[in-house]
Amino acid sequence: MVFVFSIGMLRQFMPKKEIVLVLGVAFLIGAIGGAFFLQPIYQELPEVVSLVEKNVPGNEETMYLDLSSSINMNELKQNLSKTEGFVSFEETDITIPLWKFNDREKEYFEYVLGNIDSHFNHYNVTSDGKLQIQLEDNYSSYDALKSFSDWYKLVYGSSLSYAQIHAKLIVSSSEVESFQKILMDRGIVASKMEGPVQTSVNNTNSSMVSNVEFVLATGVVGLIVATIGIYYDSIGVFFRRFKKSMREKRKR
């Protein structure tokens, strides 16, 4: 911007028709500077804003996890519970994908699912062939899957190929990154996160302009700086006259 301002101040040594070229160069330099130097900093703004919430004592984040039924849940729970910042870990429900149901098959599973296990009190059967079963307190995903798997093998003569476990992990906001690393090492990424930190990130992201708009804005700033440089002498004379008139008014 200093360079752009300096170019603008050379107006008195240029033909008037060159002013348009100076303004064009100023816009280009401002846009390039914004794209290569300021934009990377601007993109880090949500992370910078979230640092405040991360360091507020008592703030907690809720991470929603979609886990494969093949995962060792006990081992995962133990590792998470031993990590500083752990609050709680809860298995909430399971999803069992089968096949795309017709209306009769959908009605059948809606009827029979509650009779397979007395703990299956809250469930949903979708037309695309997914059974969603909510887990009661103190009833694990392992027990629920075993119960359904035993019934399925007895009725259909085959084993389940896949199921998904949904869990809710609550941690201290200041330790979110530690838990994300532990999960990432096991190939797990939270499907959703809620809490003060995530809210601040979402709010900041929603208020930020797009990359193109940001680059154009920095180009306009370059244009303004160049314009100030071009008319710097005139602006200086105006302010000197203004100060002089104010002093004369005070004397009166």
Summary mean pLDDT of the chain: 81
For residues 161-188, b (16+ Cβ closer than 10 Å) or e, as one string? Answer: eebbbbbbbbbbbbbbeebbeebeeeeb
Q: Are 104 and 218 in the same domain?
A: no
Q: Are 16 and 123 in the same domain?
A: no
> Is the per-residue pLDDT at 241 higher than 70?
no
Q: Are 105 and 173 in the same domain?
A: yes
Phi, psi (deg, nearest 5) at residue 251: -65, -35
Write down the pTM of the prediction. Answer: 0.68
> Is the per-residue pLDDT at 209 higher than 90?
no
- Domain total of the chain: 2
DSSP string, 147-194: HHHHHHHHHHSS-----EEEEEEEEEGGGHHHHHHHHHTTT---SEEE
Compute CA 81 distance to the chain's CA centroid, rounded to the nearest angstrom.
25
> Is the per-residue pLDDT at 38 higher than 70?
yes
| Structural domain harbouring 13 | 2-48+206-251
**Bridge partners, 55 (sequence order):** none
Q: Are 94 and 156 in the same domain?
A: yes
| Tens-digit pLDDT profile for residues 132-177 | 999 988 889 999 999 999 999 999 888 888 899 999 999 998 888 8
